[in-house]
Structure 1
Amino acid sequence: MSPRRSDSRERMLRSTMTLLREYGASATTVDRVLADSGAPRGSVYHHFPGGRTQLVEEAVTLGGELMTGVIETLAESDDPVEAVDTFFTRWRERVRDSGYRSGCPIVAVAVEANDDAPQLARAAGDVFARWQQAFTGLLNRLGLSEERARRLATLIIAAEEGAVVMCRAQQSTVPMEDAASEIHDLLVDALATRPENGHIAGQ
């Protein structure tokens, strides 16, 4: 069993995730994390000997794990359309409830060059791959081919992440609602025309 994170370490990781969501990677500095978390300055290099890069990388990994858990729980549903609808609804509520300030910490890292810390882009890529795998598994399990399920999983994540950015820019949930509606209809059609079509809940 891995050791339990100390309170200050946990606070710093949570603060880093929050700052990444609201300000992006470049603006998420050690000083800002300390101010937000209230952690003592000496605890940074005690818990994160790799400094800011390690702190951001671990925050990306933690944020990815939390959302992966949500997606994997949704993916246990026998109704993939409802599961994906719920995924979009949760993101819509998160962005709206934050006053359109909160985005995705994974995207915040992925869109920056980070030439001096390529491991950050790799960490973000690994998170997206896990999300894609979870949705692929759900759609494949319910009758779509592996290739079609993978492509649709990619589209679901790309649509959601793009909609988050548009919602923040436009101060509106309409982009997320539009993306969710189109993905909903696409999934209904895809599942209705799959080989040996079976009953899908909610249809």
Structure 2
Amino acid sequence: MTPGPRQRLIDNAIAMMRERGVHATGLADLLKRSGTARNSIYQHFPEGKAELLAAAELEAAELANGFLDALRARGDAEYLITRFIAWWVNQLETHDFDTGCPHAAAALAGPGEAQIRAAANDAFAGMRARLVESFRDSGVTDGVETLASLAVSAIEGALLQAQAAHSVQPLRDVEHELISLLRARRQ
């Protein structure tokens, strides 16, 4: 079944945020790409672009959290980190390093976009919470929250460096170091 206008707007907003960032995600391009009428935006998102992009970021967070939950169900923390980074490597290589994390794009939305930035904060909190659970399940007891924060920060930073360098090496470096930290912290 073909998604309705609201879902097409959200799906395409996520893709455009990953490709262009928040400020370069224009409504005219979004309407054209999603094949929706202009009134669809205001019918489904009365507050306009900010509400739409915040909703897109919240959905991107749900998708990421679902993916992390699935990885966690299949293996330990090392598995989760390795597979999560492998997914990003695939995304970067498949899209010629032209697509990034929608959470980073939303976080950089700017001070006038509090709704979008709040959605990014929620997304990062969801990622950290899942990593905390995975680390605890894998035998890490001390500094679990800090380690989860470090992991999210390192992966997000590596994504930015990978895009800039047109190389997945920053992600590989982060993967190696995070796995080393996990092994050292296990009880």
TM-score range, shorter chain: over 0.9
After TM superposition, list the pairs within 5 Å mapping 1:60-139 onto structure 2: 60-115=57-112, 117-139=113-135
Q: Which amino acid aligns with 1:106?
A: H
Q: Equivalents in 1 of 2:117, 2:70: separation in Å?
A: 26
Q: Equivalents in 2 of 1:89, 1:83: separation in Å?
A: 10
Question: 1:22–1:101: 8 Å Cα contact kept in structure 2?
Answer: yes
Alignment pair present for 1:185 and 2:180: yes
Match of 2:143 in 1: 148
Distance apart, 1:144 and its partner CA: 2.1
Q: Equivalents in 2 of 1:171, 1:186: separation in Å?
A: 26
After TM superposition, list the pairs within 5 Å mapping 1:19-30 onto structure 2: 19-30=16-27
Q: Give the paired residue count.
A: 186
TM-score, normalised by the number of residues in structure 1: 0.86
Which protein has the bigger helix share? Answer: 2
What secondary structure is seen at the aligned counterpart in 2 of 1:159? Answer: helix
**Runs of at least 5 residues in structure 1 that lack an aligned partner in the other structure:** 195-203
Match of 1:201 in 2: none
Question: 1:114–1:120: 8 Å Cα contact kept in structure 2?
Answer: no
Match of 1:51 in 2: 48
Alignment pair present for 1:160 and 2:126: no
Distance apart, 1:27 and its partner CA: 0.7
Q: Equivalents in 1 of 2:91, 2:122: separation in Å?
A: 23
Distance apart, 1:102 and its partner CA: 0.5
- Whose Rg is larger? 1
Residues 52-97 of structure 1 deviation map (CA, whole Å, 9 limit, x = unaligned)? 0110000000001000001112222442212211111111111111
RMSD: 1.5
What secondary structure is seen at the aligned counterpart in 1 of 2:143? Answer: helix
What secondary structure is seen at the aligned counterpart in 2 of 1:75? Answer: helix
After TM superposition, list the pairs within 5 Å mapping 1:169-180 onto structure 2: 169-180=164-175
Q: Equivalents in 2 of 1:122, 1:11: separation in Å?
A: 22
Q: Equivalents in 2 of 1:88, 1:49: separation in Å?
A: 37
Question: 1:60–1:123: 8 Å Cα contact kept in structure 2?
Answer: yes
Percent identity (aligned): 28
Runs of at least 4 residues of structure 1 off by over 3 A?
none
Question: 1:30–1:52: 8 Å Cα contact kept in structure 2?
Answer: yes
Question: 1:76–1:138: 8 Å Cα contact kept in structure 2?
Answer: no
Question: 2:58–2:119: 8 Å Cα contact kept in structure 1?
Answer: yes
Match of 2:6 in 1: 9
Q: 1:49 to 1:6 in 2, by over 3 A?
A: farther
Q: Equivalents in 2 of 1:92, 1:159: separation in Å?
A: 14
Q: Equivalents in 1 of 2:22, 2:75: separation in Å?
A: 37
What secondary structure is seen at the aligned counterpart in 2 of 1:64? Answer: helix
**Runs of at least 5 residues in structure 2 that lack an aligned partner in the other structure:** none
